[in-house]
């Protein structure tokens, strides 16, 4: 199977898996992956992630011009901003996952570091997650806000909307997204219960051990 065909299959497999587990509802969420020639495959607009056909996936050139497939998600500028600013980005996943969205709405959420240090895995897979402001759906300013981070973050949380994660390939990116959502869930269910967080020394040890950009 060609790189192109395999990536189409992988996008549909992961999209269905995430949809089936309730990680994004209705026709929300979108996934993209970059091919070695610099062109990008992205999920089409208005389609539920659980019911994608590999042939319908939008194929865009490096300037987001549609080469084949259905029209792409209106959130394509969000994906493009990560490819432009983070060298080595092979995939971007964006969901409207409930617990992350809930965390984005709470007044005591730290906008520079959304997830509390509850487990080592978010530190290893996601790093520090930045809260971005609320934007109207489809507003290209979302992409500009990501560009404003100058490639320093691999994950952001759009207020009252949902998380976006960039990674080296589609599998690692999907796993990082799931880690982000699970940690948001842990943060919410332990909220007000004084959970034992990782200490600053624990965090530092994880960052050093796994050579994390922190
Ligand atoms: Zn969205």
Domain of 57: which CATH number?
Answer: 3.40.225.10
Measured in Å, residue 160 CA sits from the centre of ligand 1 at 10
Average pLDDT of the residues in 83-108: 97
Predicted confidence at residue 107, as pLDDT, reads 94
Measured in Å, residue 122 CA sits from the centre of ligand 1 at 21
Average pLDDT of the residues in 87-96: 97
Q: 3-state class of 7 per DSSP? A: helix
Measured in Å, residue 28 CA sits from the centre of ligand 1 at 6
Residue whose C-alpha is closest to residue 179's, from 124, 139, 130, 133? 124
pLDDT over 90 at 1, yes or no:
no
- Count of structural domains, the chain: 1
Residue 213 and residue 202: Cα distance in Å, rounded?
A: 16
Predicted confidence at residue 189, as pLDDT, reads 97
Token representation of residue 153: 């973050």
Range(s) of the domain holding residue 16: 3-209
Predicted confidence at residue 104, as pLDDT, reads 98
Token representation of residue 113: 């570091």
Residue 177 and residue 173: Cα distance in Å, rounded?
A: 6
Predicted confidence at residue 132, as pLDDT, reads 98
Measured in Å, residue 95 CA sits from the centre of ligand 1 at 6
Residue the block writes with tokens 């487990």: 119
CB atoms closer than 10 angstroms to residue 156: 23
In the set 16, 66, 98, 121, the catalytic residue is 121
Measured in Å, residue 199 CA sits from the centre of ligand 1 at 33
Measured in Å, residue 48 CA sits from the centre of ligand 1 at 12
Average pLDDT of the residues in 96-124: 96
Q: Tens of pLDDT along 42-56? A: 999 999 999 999 999
pLDDT range class, residue 70, cuts 50, 70, 90: very high
Q: How far is CA 50 from CA 103, 156, 165, in A?
A: 25, 24, 19
**Residue 14 falls inside a structural domain:** yes
Predicted confidence at residue 173, as pLDDT, reads 98
Per-chain mean pLDDT for the chain:
95
Catalytic status, residue 83: no
Predicted confidence at residue 214, as pLDDT, reads 85
Q: Tens of pLDDT along 161-193? A: 999 999 999 999 999 999 999 999 999 999 999
**Residue 214 falls inside a structural domain:** no
**Residue 61 falls inside a structural domain:** yes
pLDDT over 90 at 3, yes or no:
no
């Amino acid at each position: 199977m060609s790189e192109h065909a395999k990536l189409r299959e992988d996008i549909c497999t992961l999209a269905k898996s995430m949809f089936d587990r309730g990680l994004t509802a209705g026709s929300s969420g979108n996934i993209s992956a970059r091919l070695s020639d610099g062109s990008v495959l992205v999920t089409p607009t208005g389609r539920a992630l659980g019911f994608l056909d590999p042939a319908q996936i939008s194929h865009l050139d490096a300037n987001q011009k549609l080469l084949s497939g259905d029209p792409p998600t209106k959130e394509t500028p969000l994906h493009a901003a990560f490819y432009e600013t983070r060298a080595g980005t092979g995939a971007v996943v964006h969901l409207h996952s409930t617990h992350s969205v809930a965390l984005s709405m709470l007044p005591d959420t730290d906008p520079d570091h959304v997830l509390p240090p509850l487990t080592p895995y978010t530190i290893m897979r996601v790093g520090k997650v930045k809260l971005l402001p609320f934007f109207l759906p489809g507003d290209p300013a979302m992409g500009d806000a990501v560009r404003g981070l100058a490639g320093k973050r691999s994950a952001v949380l759009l207020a009252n909307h949902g998380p976006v994660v960039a990674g080296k390939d589609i599998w690692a990116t999907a796993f990082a997204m799931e880690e982000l959502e699970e940690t948001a869930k842990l943060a919410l269910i332990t909220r007000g219960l004084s959970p034992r967080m990782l200490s600053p020394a624990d965090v530092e040890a994880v960052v050093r051990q796994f050579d994390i950009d922190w």
